[in-house]
């Protein structure tokens, strides 16, 4: 919208005519030229001077605020009103008092946003984990610098960093803070610039200092061995995914999965959440739970309420009676921010250039920065000691003849000539002569001067030592290491974020909306599997199988049936029938070793289908032992696809049988002996890898060759092989029919 301009009446008419003639005319300009002149300077300003942190761990707004508090004497003094700090900071940061105060809030201990807060606070500063818990106005709250800031400022007055003018050239401010620890990785830091962003996760101070020390000693040090993982101020649990952690450590990018800490109060019938992921808020969790409950997707939850008090965070989730809390929490982890991800993007300004770096490169850059700080600090102290030594050497010359010095001063007619006469009388330079001339009359005695110059030898030794430090990078490294150890010992604290492992706490599967209908399942000897509906089976023709293959297992089941494929590597693979496409008799079906990702030379020895994990499994070994394991031993609360140690691997397995209830089984050895027993004689074992008990006595070079559940029609003629006690040798069975081992699976 064009702006209207008033026209002064005193303006000459020719000028008015020209003004009206050119009014509203715009000059065409290439968009690239406009962006280059107007937008790029703004973008560079945001990137360099506002949004991205530098190697000392701070953005300009943080640095200006903390330096102002340091100059106000708030490192060791009493607290002052936040409004005072905000007002003083505006001398360095002219972006408005509210923006400065919000920056301060994030740095305070009360806000709980930082692992190691830089501001010791008193009053209401809100909470990082709450979106709606607002902080009080700056006139009500009080602040001072936290003790850890001593590690940021204790050498800033020794020219360790460069100082630059503030925005109006009225005072100087540091370009960086000479932190004695890698603060860039100690506290979380997020910034959104133009076309780029930064998101740095926090790490435990003690672990980080130890890692930095090891890297200084050995650049090839394995970082993951000392830096276990990020440590968030909100606590909770971090998924320990070594591959992802190494990716983050090496590239500076990656995603870390965080999970809430909780417990179940059975008496109150509620789940208590005491720690939540750093990336979410209490309100976001409550809103999501409410939304899901209204949609009927969380029928187990009756109410979620905020119970935050002086003791800290607490979210109570009331659940219905008979609800399985473990199962519900897996569902909540999957569907709500109770489990969330932290996206790492270690984008840091190095020499006014944004750069995404891994942990190793960041610590190398910080070490180089710290090396320069230590060298500048030692140079500053060296110059001070040289100046002091220079003065004492002049004083030492005076000691040779005090009377002469007094006479020169007394006999000099003009004050302005005293310095010049002392310089001539004792071969002093102007600085030394000025120092001697300023000595009080009461100090012109041998004792005072001797005491003063007694430090000359010590100063010479200290100067030589400092010059050696400056010339020797290894000595500077030792100083950095010592400072890191001192900082870790003084300010280190135990980890707040613990680890959980995917093998122990996998996410629950998505809500089961699988259609349920009857199916027929077929498994062949070579490992091909088919799922065919009854209608398709009736309409289909002969079953298609590979040449030399045969069907060894046929099951009538439902689409939701759980299938357990047992293999010769003592492993079981679990998968639902619904995971397979409905097939036809004219197709070969799915090849199970490929479908389930079998290991090399791994083959199927048995298949069991179940919906409720009832019944038992008999594992029959060639050495005559049988292990009876309840099928419920293979039930898991989490969605694990593969279980190891499914049965004992101490002896080669002959076959496995599924029993809904105890029954008779017939065993036969290669010596043509047979035993008929009732499975009640076999003790049930709770451990899956149990070796079982000896049922048939097997001597050297003997083994079981078959096991079957005989039909009721055959039982009468097999009674002569029945035994009441085990182990049994068995009786010779000349007329026994050959048993097809694979058909009994």
Q: Which residues are catalytic?
A: 140
C-alpha span between 81 and 122 (Å, rounded): 9
Q: Which residues of 32-66 are buried (b: 16+ CB within 10 A; e: fewer)?
A: eeeeeeeeeeeeeebbbeebbbbbbbbbbbbbbbb
Rounded to whole angstroms, what are the CA distances from 697 to 404, 622, 628, 725?
120, 11, 18, 12
List beta partners, residue 553.
Answer: 523
Rounded to whole angstroms, what are the CA distances from 555 to 404, 610, 617, 743?
120, 11, 16, 13
- Rg of the chain over CA atoms, in angstroms? 41
List beta partners, residue 57.
Answer: none
C-alpha span between 523 and 567 (Å, rounded): 14
C-alpha span between 593 and 591 (Å, rounded): 6
Burial of 531 (0-12, 13-18, 19+ CB in 10 A): buried
Alpha carbons within 13 angstroms on the beta-carbon side of residue 491 total: 24
Element (H, E) at 305: strand 301-306
List beta partners, residue 664.
Answer: 678
- For residues 57 and 201, the answer to whether their CB atoms sit within 8 Å is no
Instruction: Quickly count: other Cβ atoms within 10 Å of residue 698's Cβ.
Output: 24
The β-bridge relationship of strands 604-610 and 528-532 is unpaired
C-alpha span between 327 and 638 (Å, rounded): 8
Please list the alpha-helical segments (H only) found in 239-358: 242-251, 282-294, 325-335
- For residues 614 and 552, the answer to whether their CB atoms sit within 8 Å is no
Helix (H, G, I), strand (E, B) or coil at 567: strand
Residues 6+ apart with CB under 8 A from 126: 105, 110, 111, 133, 134, 135
C-alpha span between 322 and 328 (Å, rounded): 11
C-alpha span between 175 and 56 (Å, rounded): 10
């Amino acid at each position: 919208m064009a702006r209207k301009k008033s026209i002064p009446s005193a303006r000459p008419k020719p000028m008015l005519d020209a003004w009206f003639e050119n009014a509203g005319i715009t000059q065409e300009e290439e968009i690239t030229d406009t962006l280059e002149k107007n937008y790029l300077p703004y973008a560079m300003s945001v990137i360099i001077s506002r949004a991205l942190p530098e190697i000392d761990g701070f953005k300009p707004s943080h640095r200006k605020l903390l330096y102002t508090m340091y100059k106000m004497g708030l490192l060791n003094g009493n607290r002052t009103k936040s409004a005072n700090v905000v007002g003083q900071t505006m001398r360095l940061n002219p972006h408005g008092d509210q923006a400065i105060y919000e920056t301060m809030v994030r740095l305070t201990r009360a806000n709980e946003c930082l692992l190691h807060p830089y501001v010791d606070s008193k009053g209401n500063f809100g909470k990082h984990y709450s979106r709606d818990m607002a902080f009080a106005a700056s006139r009500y709250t009080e602040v001072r610098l936290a003790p850890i800031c001593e590690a940021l400022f204790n050498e800033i007055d020794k020219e360790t960093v460069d100082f630059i003018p503030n925005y109006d050239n009225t005072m100087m401010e540091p370009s960086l803070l000479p932190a004695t620890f890698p603060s860039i990785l100690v506290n979380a830091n997020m910034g959104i610039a133009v076309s780029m962003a930064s998101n740095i996760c926090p790490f435990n101070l003690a672990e980080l200092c130890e890692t930095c020390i090891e890297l200084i000693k050995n650049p090839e040090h394995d970082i993951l061995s000392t830096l276990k993982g990020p440590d968030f101020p909100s606590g909770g649990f971090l998924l320990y995914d070594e591959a992802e952690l190494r990716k983050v450590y090496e590239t500076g990018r990656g995603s870390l999965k965080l999970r809430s800490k909780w417990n179940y109060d059975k008496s109150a019938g509620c789940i208590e959440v005491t720690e939540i992921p750093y990336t979410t808020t209490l309100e976001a969790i409550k809103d999501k739970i409410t939304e899901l409950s209204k949609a009927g997707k969380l029928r187990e939850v009756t109410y979620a309420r905020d119970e935050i008090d002086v003791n800290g965070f607490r979210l109570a989730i009331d659940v219905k009676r008979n609800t399985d809390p473990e199962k519900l929490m897996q569902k909540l982890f999957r569907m709500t921010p109770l489990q969330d991800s932290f996206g790492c993007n270690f984008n840091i300004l190095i020499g006014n250039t944004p750069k995404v770096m891994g942990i190793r490169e960041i610590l190398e850059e910080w070490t180089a920065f710290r090396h320069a700080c230590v060298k500048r600090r030692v140079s500053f102290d060296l110059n001070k000691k040289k100046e002091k030594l220079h003065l004492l050497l002049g004083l030492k010359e005076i000691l040779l003849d005090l009377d002469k010095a007094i006479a020169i001063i007394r006999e000099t007619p003009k004050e302005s000539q005293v310095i010049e006469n002392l310089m001539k009388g004792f071969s002093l330079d102007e600085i030394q002569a000025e120092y001697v001339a300023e000595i009080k009359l009461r100090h012109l005695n041998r004792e005072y001067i001797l005491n003063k110059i007694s430090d000359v030898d010590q100063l010479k030794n200290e100067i030589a030592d400092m010059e050696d430090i400056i010339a020797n990078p290894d000595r500077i490294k030792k100083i950095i290491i010592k400072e890191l150890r001192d900082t870790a010992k003084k300010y280190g604290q135990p980890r707040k974020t613990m680890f959980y492992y995917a093998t122990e706490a996998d996410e629950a599967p998505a809500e089961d909306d699988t259609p349920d209908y009857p199916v027929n399942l077929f498994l062949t000897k070579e490992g091909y599997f088919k799922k065919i509906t009854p209608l398709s089976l009736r309409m289909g023709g002969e079953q298609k199988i590979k040449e030399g293959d045969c069907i060894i297992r046929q099951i009538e089941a439902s689409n939701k049936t759980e299938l357990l494929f047992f293999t010769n590597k003592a492993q079981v693979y679990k998968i639902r029938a619904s995971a397979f496409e409905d097939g036809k008799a004219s197709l070969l079906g799915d090849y199970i070793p490929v479908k389930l990702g079998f290991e090399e030379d791994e083959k199927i020895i048995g298949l069991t289908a179940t919906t409720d994990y009832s019944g038992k499994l008999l594992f029959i070994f060639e050495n005559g032992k049988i292990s009876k394991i309840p099928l419920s031993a293979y039930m898991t609360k989490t969605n694990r696809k593969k279980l190891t140690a499914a049965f004992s691997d101490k002896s080669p397995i002959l076959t496995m049988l599924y029993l809904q209830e105890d029954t008779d089984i017939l065993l036969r050895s290669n010596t043509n002996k047979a035993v008929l027993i009732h499975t009640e004689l076999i003790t049930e074992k709770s451990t899956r890898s149990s070796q079982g008990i000896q049922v048939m006595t097997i001597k050297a070079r003997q083994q079981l060759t078959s096991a079957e559940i005989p039909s009721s029609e055959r039982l009468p003629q097999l009674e002569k092989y029945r035994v009441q006690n085990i182990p049994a040798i068995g009786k010779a069975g000349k007329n026994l029919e050959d048993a097809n081992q694979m058909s009994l699976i």
